[in-house]
Amino acid sequence: MKQRTIAKAIKSIGIGLHKGNPVEILLEPLEADMGIQFYRTDLGITIEATPNNVVDTKMATVIGKNGATISTIEHLLAVVYSYGIDNLRISLNSSEVPIMDGSGASFCMMLDEAGIMKLSANKKIMIIKKNISYKDGKKWTKISPSAHAEYDFTIDFNHPVIQKQKYNFIFSKKDFIKDISKARTFGFLKDVQALRSMGLALGGSLDNAIVLDDKKMLNSDPLRYQNEFVRHKILDAIGDLSLMGMPIIGKYESFAGSHSLNHILTLEILKDKENYEVKYFDKEYYNAYSKVFA
């Protein structure tokens, strides 16, 4: 299976979640083996989408280089990964990827319009060989060998709308679009008010997030999935792990995980080359995984 990029450039505009300013985004094709690159047009700085460039994970995944940062990259990266795109330039005139509707749906539409182009080089895949885990109190995340790219997430909130939710997702592009991409980010009104007092979440609204008070959901439109909250956590995890730069064949599991735990897991994987094996997507794996990105 060959590496991919997009067939033509595509641009859009949206609101930055924290600054609340309009953000122009331009997606452009790149040649083979160039990876996913973010470019700050206002600063003239390129930041590669790699674990080593992650500089913050408190409220979103943030990458940085030479003093420049780009935040809230996870939703876009989840979509780029799920479309099997290995090489892409993402240009922004601000420090945030636009939040769009709080899910990956708008980015799916952008890539559908841009189209996919196959390149000459073979795609690489990372095969997990050992159990790797990280725990922070009651929260934990792990990855283990599997015949699939699999995501199993559990959340447990003391809130009547969310409560305990668990979802298992066997990855494929088709199922990602149908079952994961439309799941929106969520937050609590009290937290939003606290963030705004610090000059953050200025672009957040009921149009780009599910917002809850102590008892109910404040949005007038219904949930897109009955368990939309945990599905969004899987969207985040796919985006965070995509920083590895290639499809991962393994089972990801998490309880009450976060961007921080996902980032630590990527570093734990890379600590020891015995944890994984990188292979080209040749005939040995083509039959088993070619339909995943169809």
Catalytic residues: 259
Task: Name the strand (E) or helix (H) holding 240.
Answer: helix 228-241
Measure Cα distances from 94 to 24, 78, 201 in Å.
Answer: 8, 20, 15
Three-state DSSP state, 194: helix
243 CA to centre of own chain = 9
Helices (H) and strands (E) in the chain, counts: 7, 19
Measure Cα distances from 21 to 28, 105, 146 in Å.
Answer: 23, 21, 43
262 CA to centre of own chain = 10
Three-state DSSP state, 229: helix
Q: Which residues contact 201 (CB under 8 A, 6 or more apart)?
A: 17, 18, 187, 192, 195
Find out whether 189 and 218 touch, Cβ atoms under 8 Å.
yes
Concatenated DSSP letters for 17-77? Answer: TTT--EEEEEEEE--TT--EEEEETTTTEEEE-SGGGEEE-SSS-EEEETTEEEB--HHHH
For the chain, the C-alpha Rg in angstroms (whole number) is 18
Three-state DSSP state, 231: helix
